[in-house]
A and B are shown apart, each in its own frame.
Chain A
Amino acid sequence: AQTVTQSQPEMSVQEAETVTLSCTYDTSESNYYLFWYKQPPSRQMILVIRQEAYKQQNATENRFSVNFQKAAKSFSLKISDSQLGDTAMYFCAFMRDSNYQLIWGAGTKLIIKP
């Protein structure tokens, strides 16, 4: 069975700083997909960034980038120039290529301080 682990329950940084959120996963699959979702207090999950396991290049979306280490089964999220609006819960999620279930970590609460 696949598992996703987020070892940082909470993180706090000053506005404009860079912050990295950690995620590790366990799977025997060779092809799969990894995601970072943001959940603000409104509860609505919002996709931040996605990575296909067969792609060696790390995904980037504006201020958000990932460090995908397939051999180490690590998938960290880096947020550059953090903004107050980045304050939220961040969830790492895994999806096997053969089905459509998202398997989620427990989340990291990120607080951006002014």
Chain B
Amino acid sequence: GAGVSQTPSNKVTEKGKYVELRCDPISGHTALYWYRQSLGQGPEFLIYFQGTGAADDSGLPNDRFFAVRPEGSVSTLKIQRTERGDSAVYLCASSPWTGGATDTQYFGPGTRLTVL
């Protein structure tokens, strides 16, 4: 079946603008995760959804970042008043909910965000 998809693949914006990044998880996966990967580094956790609710948003860096998953499937990561430091690849992953930490997280190809 189809894997995790993310759109757009690349996004260039200007400092101060608002952006939305979309993630479409694997069908039937109830858990969804967002990570941010800066150049030359490993990913950093941002937020985790179980169904429609954000079960853990402890990784969001500040209140300019917000994510939603209104119907428990597609998720949108929203960044307000973008800053140059927000430039990174934003990765989305999904996993089936078996109730254990051994769920494999399946990743999408990411959205490369560049803030000029």
Contacts and interface: CB of A to CB of B under 8 A. Distances in A.
Given A43-B89, A99-B101, A4 B108 contact: no
Nearest to B35: A102
B104 A100 contact: no
Contacts of A96: 101
Interface residues of A, number: 26
Interface footprint category on B: 20 to 34
Contacts, number: 61
Interface in A17-44: 33, 37, 42-44
B28 interface: no
Contacts of A44: 3, 107-110
Interface stretch (B18-26, B43-51, B65-73, B74-82): B43-51
B42 interface: yes
B101 A106 contact: no
Contacts of A81: none
A45 B56 CA distance: 21
A52 B112 CA distance: 32
B93 interface: yes
A100 B32 CA distance: 10
Contact of B59 (A37, A98, A101): A101
Contacts of A45: 43, 91, 93, 107
A99 B91 CA distance: 19
Contacts of A107: 40-42
Interface of B: 3, 31, 33, 35, 40-45, 48, 56, 59, 89, 91, 93, 101-110, 112
Given A95-B101, A106-B40, 9 more contacts: A37-B107, A43-B109, A44-B109, A45-B43, A50-B102, A100-B101, A101-B56, A102-B43, A106-B42
Interface of A: 4, 33, 37, 42-47, 50, 52, 91, 93, 95-107
